[in-house]
Chain A
Amino acid sequence: MSPIRLMAANDWRLMARSRVAQLALLMLLALAAVAALTAIAHRDHSNDLRARFQAQADQDFDGQPARHPHRMVHYGHFVFRPLPALAGFDPGVDAFTGSTIFLEGHRQNSANFGDVRQSSLLARFGQLSPAFVLQVLAPLVLIFIGFGLIAAERERGTLRLLRVHGRSAGEVLRGKLLALAGIAAVLLLPACLALAWLTVSAQAEPVAAVLLTIGYAGYLGLWVTGVVTVSALTRSARGALMALLGLWAVTTILVPRIGSDVALRMAPLPTRLETDIAIQRDLHRIGDSHNPDDPHFAAFKAGLLARYKVSRVEDLPLNYRGLVAMEGERLTAGLFDRYAEAQFARQRRQAEVVNGLALLSPAVAVRSLSMALAGTDLEGHRRFLRQAEAYRYTIVQGLNRLQAEAVTYVDDGNRNSDPEAARRVRIDPRHWHDVPDFTYRSAGLGERIRAAAPGAAVLAVWLVLAAGALGLAARRLGRDL
């Protein structure tokens, strides 16, 4: 056996005999198992529930009786955001975003019923998931097991003994690295099993699972290097423990929170209410279908009459009311898109601020990498919002088109006074069947990998820095002994 392997094996033997190491490792493995089981079960259950609700909403929509198409525009539709398979590993922001949106004409509703609003403050303590265990708890276990690897040997004087036996400081450090890396590998194991299970049971992409494993291996590797470095640089074991605990608290607990506050201050978001009002105001400016003298709709009407070479809207081959509804929807939807994109841009600016802070905290970097690869980041939710809006526009315009084509202008005008007209404007319910169901297209693997790249880059920078610090520690250790 090489001397490095030999030293690592000796450390493993010591760890196996240390009650603290045993306890820490066992507790974490138990927690990781609980986290994996519950996160996967929760994901499966939520996804099933949402699929069931979606099926019910589709069925409700298709089962509507004969109706005026515009009534269907207001009846609207519900869409539910399915949970990606890897949400069983990292639920990301799922609990913080609504999972369902009510889609209707003229309005853009919010996604509602996020778990956090439906929970007590307990939800703010953090959700136990394999990702949380690896991001927050595993580094602590590495600290507990590893802080004394060198510092305690120095205190006991056994470090000198190793040197007397001809081992260089570099070899000692590499032995310790190997020993602690072995522990990190054990910590990673339950997460790997969870990922493997998700690829088998829920068709998670194996590539994403492998990349997640690599990402977390890098993150834990960073902590392994950091723990060994600090243990080598500090005079006492207690000093090493204090320094590492401080480092942990700052990077995993403090910086992410401060990051949120800084981002919110640097790029504040307007409230929904303000956005609603602004959209109404803009709409009023562009074209107000309620105003008979509105220039936009006057021009729209004139254009139609000219195109079909008629003088009255009654003579149009299509129902003028339906056409107006389509034009109105086109205007509002354009505004919805514009405001939504502005909102998304602001959110992205906030994310950039947070990512900038990831330079201070590898935990932030690995979190963003993990959510991106799992497809549970905010971008995933934004995809859902965009697709939901596109779907809303499609079905509303489809229904408006039905109003224009299948309902006559005269009947439409008399539907409240003439019972026969009222019967005729209620069109065949088979049309509701023809409206396509909503299918959420999740982000492709390439897209998710691109989204994960910044986090991976920051982690890589950290790894290089940590390796540099370790080299420094090796030189110091060589001098001291």
Chain B
Amino acid sequence: MMIESDPDHPLDPVIDLSGLTLRRGPRTVLADLSLQVGPGEIYALLGGNGAGKSTTLAVLLGFLAPDSGVARVAGVDPAVAPDQARRQIAYLPESVALYDQLTAHENIAYFMALAGSEPGPDIIDAALDAAGLQSEARTRRVGGYSKGMRQKVAIAMAVLREVPVLLLDEPTSGLDPRATADFNALLGRLKARGTAILMVTHDLLGAADCADRIGFLAGGRIVEEVRPAEGIDVMALHHRYGEVAAA
């Protein structure tokens, strides 16, 4: 699935949120949130604690249904058909937890089997190569892995999924600069493959390095959107971002 990406003229959006509103008791968590991510596009959603980042992911994954508005993942409404929607999504949680008693290989084989595909050992190796996990670690049980190593296993899984959507939850938190660079390179390859990537993060610098667009989330809606490619004043954004997050 190789699609020529043109961030300025997105094809049919793969991730399509329109007018999402979600209330939790008296609190409005999402307030008329609209957001489109096209194939081969990386969108970073920035926001402080409680801005609605995790809620947005939960809606996309079908764990929460919005009170109004519609979400679509590759054309599927996760509120209506969560299983079907999830089949279109690769997901990288903030802190990757795996089965400690299995090796990296076995973990990937198991989770991929759950998702309905059975990649051979060579394919898994290739994915782990791409994710940058040292080959001598791959036959060890993941119980002894560092956070970064675990994340690489999860990234390898995301690569293997070959689905149109990748959701990332604080992907670079806890990674050292070198691992972050590897990770960004990997994202670039997925982007080239045409994957629509949505990451939520509070790391503006990290987002500016890899995202096509950055949306600032506050009070459940996007208050500003910028394109790093057009040249941005990171310091000014950082200053504003602080204000936005506080608002």
Chains A and B touch (C-beta atoms under 8 A apart): no
Which residues from chain B sit less than 8 Å from chain A, CB to CB? none
- A residues near B (Cβ < 8 Å) are none
